[in-house]
Amino acid sequence: MRPVAIFRHSKTEGPGYFAIFLEAHRIPWTLIPLDAGAPVPTTPEAYAGLCFMGGPMSVNDDLPWIEPVCALIRAAVARNIPVLGHCLGGQLMSKALGGRVTRNPVKEIGWSRATGADDAISRHWLGEFAGQELTLFQWHGETFSLPEGAHRLASNAYCANQMFALGPHLGMQCHTEMLPEMIACWCAQWADEAAAAAHWPSVQSPAAMLAEIPLRLPAMRRLADRLYGIWIQGLVR
């Protein structure tokens, strides 16, 4: 089987639980560290699917890899090779497919809640979570619009577009890939950002994020298992 290509845009925003999930299902994967200067593949045919992780940059920044990545996403969608995006990755998907990425009304940082949509497409992706409250982890100040033909899977009061599906492709504004070590790292690395945004009710302190790991992470892990499980069904074997 061809591997899943996982694109890393920042050293501390690696594949996390997503890689663990793939390995548990005996699906090979390869890391493409764009943050370390790895070139963007010119075509997606060597891969069973493409996964894009998060990053502190904006898709609207003038970075040399953004347009090649968008072109790669468009090529994968044209060839029905599944694409998955986490946070920045979801924004890259939206931009590549004709959507816009703009400033969100508030920052979302830490554990959050969203509501899963309840319709045929959402029930396919979310299963038992359709129409229910979802536990998510967030760290973003921008948001994506839904590209043409995409279907909103989840929303909350702070960010309307939390997830979208487009055929076998899944774009997320949230981070379902988190591990405790990643949360601790981000809390240390970006503590100043969280403190500066603490006036918003959508922002948690690092202490609160860390304290809620035992309560929140198992619930999000069940959601991740469902979403990743549906996504891998579309992989090119």
Residue 197: per-residue pLDDT: 96
Residue 36: per-residue pLDDT: 97
Give domain limits for the chain: 4-232
Residue 26 has pLDDT above 90, yes or no: yes
The Cα–Cα gap between 113 and 234 comes to 28
Percent of the chain with pLDDT over 70: 100
Total Cβ atoms within 10 A of residue 100: 14
Kindly indicate the confidence band of residue 237, based on its pLDDT and cuts at 50, 70 and 90. Answer: confident
Measured in degrees and rounded to the nearest 5, phi and psi for residue 137 equal -120, 135
Cα–Cα–Cα angle for 155, 227, 161, nearest 5°? 20
The Cα–Cα gap between 170 and 164 comes to 6
Q: Tell me the CATH number for domain 4-232.
A: 3.40.50.880
The Cα–Cα gap between 33 and 113 comes to 31
Residue 63: per-residue pLDDT: 97
Residue 24: per-residue pLDDT: 98
Q: What is the pTM of this model?
A: 0.97
Question: Residue 84 in contact with residue 165, Cβ under 8 Å?
Answer: no
Residue 119: per-residue pLDDT: 97
pLDDT in tens, 71-111: 999 999 999 999 999 999 999 999 999 999 999 999 999 99
The Cα–Cα gap between 42 and 65 comes to 11
